[in-house]
Amino acid sequence: MYLKSLTLRGFKSFASATTLQLEPGITCIVGPNGSGKSNVVDALAWVMGEQGAKSLRGGKMEDVIFAGTSGRPPLGRAEVALTIDNADGALPIEYAEVTISRTMFRNGGSEYAINGQSCRLLDVQELLSDSGIGREMHVIVGQGQLDSILHATPEDRRGFIEEAAGVLKHRKRKEKALRK
């Protein structure tokens, strides 16, 4: 399984439809400050169902819709489509290629689709839940997060690892029980 392509249309700074073709292995996105590199990562999180405006570096969910520039009027909707190569059957669906898409209008909520079939957020979450790429997974390390890990005290660093491994909640529960 690997991410095959990502198409953004009206998402943040990507007013016109823009498709990134990805290959198996490592992809690097380079560009000047403010050129939209992090917006691409935001699009990836958003299409997989991210619900937090802050995680998407905005104040409200509508902030993902192209807000306009001096030469170009704002748009009414944002759309992102993510195509995943599923030839190895890692995703529990009978398709060798799976396209997840999310559309959002200024006046309301999001619409999701899997291979063009309208579906619920829950369906997207379930499809991705065992794949290691869902939004609950620690797969997106934000700008600045790396710095905080590198500069963390050993105790804090242990916390990051425990959180990633899913043991933090058990340790917190244990500490709470011992305090009683």
Residues that bind ligand ATP (CB under 6 A): 12-13, 31, 33-39, 63, 65-67, 143
- C-beta closer to ligand ATP: residue 15 or 127: 15
10 binds, among ligand ATP, Mg ion, none (CB under 5 to 8 A by kind): none
21 binds, among Mg ion, ligand ATP, none (CB under 5 to 8 A by kind): none
Work out how close the CB of 144 gets to Mg ion at its nearest, in angstroms, rounded to a whole number.
9
- C-beta closer to ligand ATP: residue 36 or 49: 36
Question: Angle 21-101-65 (CA atoms, 0-180°, nearest 5)?
Answer: 90
66 binds, among ligand ATP, Mg ion, none (CB under 5 to 8 A by kind): ligand ATP
> Strand, helix or coil at 76?
coil
Whether 44 and 140 have beta carbons less than 8 Å apart is answered as yes
Told to check if 38 binds Mg ion by CB under 5 A, we report yes
CA 60 to chain centre: 16
- C-beta closer to Mg ion: residue 56 or 98: 56
Told to check if 125 binds Mg ion by CB under 5 A, we report no
> Strand, helix or coil at 168?
helix
Q: How far is residue 66's CA from residue 73's CA, in Å, rounded to a whole number?
A: 9
63 binds, among Mg ion, ligand ATP, none (CB under 5 to 8 A by kind): ligand ATP
End-to-end CA distance of the chain: 47
Q: How far is residue 112's CA from residue 124's CA, in Å, rounded to a whole number?
A: 8
Residues 142-161 that bind Mg ion (CB under 5 A): 143
Token pair in block for residue 163: 């959180």
- List residues binding Mg ion (CB under 5 A): 37-38, 143
